[in-house]
Amino acid sequence: RLVMGMAKLGVLVNFVSDAVIVGFSAGAGVLIGVNQLKHLFRVEFPGSPGMPETLYHFFPHLPETHFYSLALGLGTLALVVLLQYFAPKLPGPLIAMVAASVVVWGLGLDKRGVIIIGKLPPALPPLAELPLFDLQLLGQLSTGALAIATIGLVAAASISRSIAAQTGQRLDSNQEFVGQGLASLLSGVFSGYAASGSFGRSAVNYGANAKTALSSIFASLFVFVAITLFSPAAAYIPRAALSGVLLVMAYGMIDRKEMARIWRGARGDAFIMVATLSATLLLPLEFAVLIGILASFARYALETSVPKVQVVLPDDNFNHLIYRPGKPSCPQLGIIDILGDLYFGAVSHVEDAIQENLKKNPEQRFLLLRMRSVNHCDINGIHMLESVMRLYRQRGGDLYLMRVQGPVRALMRTTGFRTVLGIDHFLPDDGAVTYLFEKILDPAVCIYECEIRAFYECQNLPKQTFADLVPLRSQIPPGSIPAISPQRLHQQLNDPAAEAPLVLDVREAREFRRSHIPQARLFSLSKLLSQALDLPKDRQIVCVCRTGRRSSRAVYVLQQHNYEDVAILRGGMIAWEAAGYLEAVEL
């Protein structure tokens, strides 16, 4: 325990759910109360740590009740409750036990069958002869010692969190581990057992309005003084009175309001609380805590293994990407928000959700994954992303990522995924859609095939539907579209000794008026698809658009109509502008 505390492993306690603490506290309160019935009624039967066995033995012995003991216990209980209500600042339990001791001494009830604590041994425990150099014995004890340490830590941490939840104090788990370790070491030196927390003693301490750790020191000093100086007087404390005090404290451990709140809340929390409560009542305490922790881990694993994976679209003002069920998606680009980590337990669910979206939108060839909520990724997450990347690239599209967190980006770099995907595929949150719209997506699909204006960039595009006539880029055989450079086209247009090629600008009129090659003729792709072609077949034709995507389609259509000397301007108007050549603007 000491080593775990010094190694800062107290964070492991964070995996103990508050529902475990509430259920464990309530169960321990009930268990403490049930175990005190034997002393309150002063009936004799074999002791048992479980509630069912205790009640099974208790009820048959109920006719054997010792009424003097019962009266003392109930009187002590009533006095504590009355003092808590009318004089909460007074140490009610101490006053009640002193009063009960006086009654026992004054009336001689110890001679009438009331069990008292008896004279306490005034001597200190002897020092133990520890076999520190018996390596064989240490090896035999190591497994059991580890189990005791683990269970003790969990139980003590659960008790600490239970009290801290009621006091509002901050719990330092590492300090608690160090304290438990030091206490066990010193206890062993003085012939004691391994130390851990006690719900009974902690409940009494809390019920006495203790505020700091000094309360335990003062309690120890008082015990030492009582043992050495007042052991004859302490001998008259009736065990039934102690039971009455513990019953009050046990009742206070049952946080009924918080239990009702958890019950009305999430089903997972309610299940964990009920499971821990039931295990506390039916099993030994250490196993009850372990069952609660296992239930918490199971719930955590279940929730993190099925993170929300949802398709997002811009809101009505195109300011934010939000979940909009029922609204149609872009036929080219899907944007999926992953709200959880990509670790081995979650990747299958995430990949299934991506595959399901692809089934609903089979025409989508590009995917943008929004990873702002992915704070952790392991090698399984990398393998899943590689699988998705291959899937979309096989469809003629690609995968892009946005808002990748620092640790995840570092893992992608060290595993080589960033190189495989391409560093230009990591996009910022602002401008990601604009970049894809201008550089990646096919404007011909936007203009001629799509009637959905999903993004802000789509709003000013002319919409003309020729879905059956516009060839997809994947339908155009690779290498079948000739291309000439801006320099070559500029040279041909300004060579007086040769016939200049016919330059067809296949963009829309709005784009043409903003800037075009001076010798170009507007012949939009929509016109080329819908009208009869009356173009010379004995003259070279060069088709031009913004980037070359629409012009490739235009050339492919011309080739289908037996035009042989056709080509596109490589890079489109963007390349022409970059070369610094003259552009015409129509005002």
- Residue in this structure with the two tokens 């057992």, named with its chain if needed: 193
For residues 557 and 481, give the distance between their C-alpha atoms in angstroms, rounded to a whole number.
11
Regarding beta strands 333-339 and 308-314, do their DSSP bridges make them parallel or antiparallel, or are they unpaired?
antiparallel
- The Cα 377–Cα 384 span in angstroms is 10
List for the chain the helix, strand, coil content (%; round to 5).
Answer: 55, 10, 35
Closest CA to 31 of 247, 326, 340, 266: 247
| 3-state SS, residue 306 | coil
Question: Would strands 521-522 and 502-505 be described as parallel, antiparallel, or unpaired?
Answer: parallel
Residue for token digits 């046990």? 250
Task: Let me know if 545 is a catalytic residue.
Answer: yes
Partners of 427 in the beta sheet?
Answer: 402
Catalytic residue among 330, 446, 450, 545: 545
CB 245 within 8 A of CB 73: no
- What's the length of the chain? 587
φ, ψ for residue 61, nearest 5 deg: -95, 5
Q: Sign (positive/negative) of CA torsion 277, 278, 284, 288?
A: negative
Under DSSP, the state recorded for 499 is P
Residue with tokens 């299940």: 271
Taking the C-alpha atoms of 570, 571, 572 and 577 in order, what is their torsion angle to the nearest 10 degrees?
-120
Tokens of 454: 């999903």
The first and second tokens of residue 462, run together, are: 């002319």
Query: Any idea what DSSP says for residue 372?
Result: T
What is the rounded distance in angstroms from the CA atom of residue 313 to the CA atom of residue 324?
A: 6
Running DSSP on this structure, what letter comes out for residue 339? E
For the CA atoms of 27, 33, 36, 42, the dihedral, rounded to the nearest 10 degrees, stands at -140
Alpha-carbon span 396 to 390, nearest angstrom:
10
Query: Residue 185 CB: number of other CB atoms within 10 A?
Result: 13
Cα 533-536-542 angle, rounded to 5 deg: 90
Which residues carry out catalysis?
545
